[in-house]
Structure formats: structure tokens, C-alpha cells
């Protein structure tokens, strides 16, 4: 039996030959596949899908932003009478929609489901829907099939997952609808065994949505990592700075940078989106404490929440510059299916399209206190201002650890957004400057 696993391309990546990270999720699906099955993995972000390749079963993962392309790929294979399975965040949120393009839909995580699906396929009894009654255990997970990744196609190859789920209930986030609110942790000894299979001389990226969601587990993990002398980065909540012992272990275990969702400088916005774990009043303390341990910070900010007017753009970028954040991303909220944000905006008619191909880079809802054009231009200006050369120099200068890497990341973002934006020639307030 031959199985082909496919990652549909994100539109903006289609001209690229190299992208940031490999598809760890499908590498795990490959590892869960019985050994007698011949498995291949195609990441359309870095290579082309071979529709003529001999295959018995195709498995396609889909995010909302890749759903349309996933359906196109699925329809092409099904036209050749090849069975197709769709899974991932978008099919899990909208299984009835996905089932129109697939012979089977996997809702949620693959562990505990995938081997049974393969056996059903072999016995010609493939079911229309596969789902867990609960959340799968993270005990005794196999090592992901990293050998299937395209060689030389990724800037970062050392990616690893140690936890799933999130205890918080942010209205804009799709993590909890897919992984649940229960924060599940892998056994530390199993994480270490997987790390030992990686090239520990290179940076390791923990892909967890919040690596400090369970402080007890995090302390155990970081203590165990100290002797390995690795360098790593991960996403974390602001709570990492509230526990001095935890923060010291984060630094001692080799953390180079943390990606933190500050989201907004408005307490009213934080309350409205349900991010009660954050407190705007402590942001400066959080940043200074993390920086005092030599750890860089990459901040995430949302623009265009319901309490935001046009002042939000300058206020947000000046804060990020003042606090000398080494990096940042600025985005408007996206009403992904299955999120509370989607439900609330849809209820009052503020979602302007459900063409999933528009969800990657277009504004798909009506802001409350500004026009769509204002939000689009303001977002563009914030990116351009934050990654202008004077801003990079003021924020990064010459006094930080990992200076070459931090400058490289900043210049990469600068080059990307210069290509992405057309400079506004109308003399408006939000004209991008480089």
C-alpha cells in the first residue's frame, strides 16, 4: 500500500523554495502509519504535488487559509479514483464542508485514530468520519518521520512538541477547539529521547502553543535540559515572568527567545477577547524581567479589536519600540471557524466573506471603530515603521546576545514587507516608509 501525505501551499509561499519550518504534524501521522505502508510526504510550499504518482490513499492537512487549495488537490485525486482523507484544523471545524471533497474526514488529533483508519481502508470499509471521544494520551508517542522532509527546504529543521491544549479561552484562538482546554504534557524522558535524535548544535524550536502552561512540567523539563546545552525558542504566556524560579530555569536551559502574545494595550480589549491571563499594567515589568535574563522577546499584537480606533497604530508601535522588543508581529484578528470571535461577528453580520482563500492576508470582517481601509493602511504602516532601519537600530543596536541572528530576522521581515506592500503615494498618514 502506498500513502501520500500532502501539505497544501500557503499562497504567499508559492514562489518560495525554502520556508521556515517543516510540517511536524504530518511527520507524526507518518510515524503512526503501520510500517508495511510506503509513505511519502509532499509539502507544496517547497515542491509540487505529483498528481500522476502511483498512490492508493492520500491524506491532506488543511488550515483555513489553505482549505481551498486542499479541496482542489483532493478533488483532483478523487477524479482519478484515489481515496482522500482530509484532516487538520479546518476540516475539524467544518467536517460537513470538508466531507464534500473527501472520502473520510479526521476530526481532531490523529493519535488513536490513524492506525484504525488505515486498517479500515485496507479492508475496504473506510468510514466517512473519524473522531476521538476524548483527547488522546501523549504517552509513548513515536518519533516523527523527519526523514520524509524535503532536504534543504527549511530554515529551521529542529522542531518538537512537548504539550498540547491551552487552559485559556481567547475568543480569537482556534487552538482550544482543536486541542482542547486540557493542558496535556508528554513525559519529560520521552521528550529528551526525541531531542537526542536532533542536531543539538542547531537551534531547537518548541512548537507548543504555551510551553509554560503547566509550570510544574515546565520546571521539570527545563531542569532536565540544562545538561544538554542546547539553544531553543518557544511561545510562552506572560505568566513566565511571574515565577522567578521558572524564569531562571528558562534561561539556564538555553532559551534564546520567547514569543509572547501581548495582543493589545487596552484592558477593555483584553476583557472582551477573554485573555484574562494578561494585564496591561505588568507588560513593562514582564519585558524587563525577561530581558534581564538575556532572553529576546518577539511580541504578538492584534490591531482592530472592538475598542481600537485609529490611535491604536502609533500607540502600539511606539510601545514595542520603547520596550526594545527584538521582534514583533502585528495582525488584525481573523474570525476562524469554530472560534467565539467567528460566532460573535457572524451573528451581527460583520464577516464580509467566507471565501477561505481570502483569510490568509485580507481583512474579512468589519472593524467597529474604523473603516476597513483605515485598518489595512494602519497595519501596513505599523509593520513598516517597526522594521524601518532607524527603528531596528534603536531597538537592537549592538548590545544584545545573538546579535547576528536578531539583525538577520529583522532584515528578513523588513525585506518581506517591502515586497508585500505598495508604498502609498497619496500622502496619507499611513504611508509606509523604509
Per-residue pLDDT, 12? 62
C-alpha cell at 42: 509532499
**Looking at the DSSP assignment, which residues form a beta bridge with residue 235?**
259
Q: Which long-range contacts (CB under 8 A, 24 or more apart) does 151-155 make?
A: 152/18, 153/17, 153/18, 153/19, 153/22, 153/43, 153/46, 153/47, 154/18, 154/19, 154/20, 154/21, 154/22, 154/46, 155/18, 155/19, 155/20, 155/21
* Residue intervals in the chain for CATH 3.40.50.280: 2-131
Per-residue pLDDT, 232? 98
Per-residue pLDDT, 335? 97
Tell me the CATH number for domain 146-420: 3.20.20.70
Per-residue pLDDT, 428? 44
Residues of the chain under the 50 pLDDT cut: 423-434
Give the fold, CATH level 3, of 2-131. Answer: Rossmann fold (3.40.50)
Per-residue pLDDT, 13? 53
Per-residue pLDDT, 226? 98
Per-residue pLDDT, 167? 85
* Residue intervals in the chain for CATH 3.20.20.70: 146-420
Of 220, 271, 262, 274, residue with least CA distance to 237:
262
Amino acid at each position: 500500500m502506498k500513502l501520500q501525505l500532502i501539505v497544501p501551499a500557503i499562497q504567499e509561499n508559492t514562489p518560495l523554495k525554502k520556508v521556515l519550518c517543516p510540517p511536524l504534524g504530518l511527520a507524526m501521522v507518518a510515524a503512526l502509519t503501520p510500517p508495511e505502508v510506503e509513505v511519502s510526504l509532499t509539502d507544496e510550499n517547497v515542491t509540487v504535488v505529483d498528481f500522476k504518482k502511483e498512490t492508493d490513499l492520500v491524506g491532506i492537512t488543511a488550515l483555513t487559509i489553505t482549505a481551498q487549495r486542499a479541496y482542489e488537490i483532493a478533488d483532483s485525486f478523487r477524479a482519478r479514483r484515489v481515496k482522500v482523507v482530509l484532516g487538520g484544523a479546518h476540516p475539524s471545524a467544518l467536517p460537513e464542508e470538508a466531507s464534500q471533497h473527501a472520502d473520510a474526514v479526521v476530526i481532531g488529533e490523529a493519535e488513536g485514530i490513524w492506525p484504525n483508519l488505515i486498517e479500515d481502508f485496507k479492508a475496504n470499509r473506510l468510514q466517512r468520519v473519524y473522531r476521538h471521544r476524548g483527547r488522546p494520551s501523549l504517552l509513548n508517542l513515536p518519533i516523527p518521520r523527519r526523514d520524509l522532509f524535503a532536504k534543504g527546504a527549511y530554515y529551521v529543521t529542529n522542531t518538537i512538541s512537548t504539550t498540547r491544549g491551552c487552559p485559556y479561552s481567547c475568543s480569537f484562538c482556534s487552538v482550544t477547539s482543536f486541542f482542547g482546554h486540557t493542558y496535556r504534557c508528554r513525559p519529560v524522558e520521552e521528550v529528551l529521547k526525541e531531542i537526542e535524535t536532533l542536531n543539538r548544535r542547531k537551534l531547537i524550536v518548541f512548537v507548543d502553543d504555551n510551553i509554560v502552561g503547566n509550570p510544574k512540567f515546565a520546571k521539570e523539563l527545563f531542569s532536565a535540559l540544562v545538561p544538554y546545552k542546547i539553544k531553543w525558542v518557544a511561545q510562552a504566556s506572560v505568566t513566565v515572568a511571574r515565577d522567578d524560579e521558572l524564569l531562571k530555569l528558562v534561561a539556564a536551559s538555553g532559551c534564546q527567545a520567547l514569543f509572547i502574545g501581548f495582543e493589545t494595550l487596552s484592558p477593555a480589549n483584553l476583557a472582551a477577547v477573554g485573555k484574562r491571563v494578561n494585564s496591561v499594567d505588568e507588560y513593562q515589568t514582564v519585558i524587563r524581567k525577561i530581558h534581564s535574563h538575556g532572553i529576546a522577546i518577539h511580541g504578538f499584537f492584534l490591531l482592530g479589536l472592538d475598542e481600537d480606533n485609529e490611535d491604536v497604530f502609533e500607540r502600539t508601535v511606539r510601545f514595542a519600540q520603547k520596550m526594545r522588543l527584538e521582534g514583533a508581529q502585528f495582525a488584525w484578528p481573523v474570525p476562524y471557524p469554530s472560534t467565539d470571535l467567528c460566532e460573535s461577528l457572524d451573528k451581527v453580520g460583520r464577516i464580509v466573506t467566507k471565501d477561505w482563500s481570502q483569510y490568509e492576508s485580507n481583512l474579512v470582517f468589519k472593524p467597529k471603530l474604523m473603516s476597513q481601509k483605515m485598518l489595512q493602511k494602519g497595519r501596513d504602516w505599523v509593520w513598516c515603521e517597526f522594521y524601518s532601519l532607524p527603528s531596528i537600530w534603536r531597538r537592537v543596536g549592538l548590545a544584545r546576545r545573538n546579535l547576528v541572528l536578531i539583525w538577520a530576522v529583522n532584515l528578513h521581515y523588513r525585506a518581506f514587507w517591502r515586497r508585500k506592500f505598495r508604498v502609498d503615494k497619496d500622502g496619507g498618514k499611513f504611508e509606509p516608509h523604509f
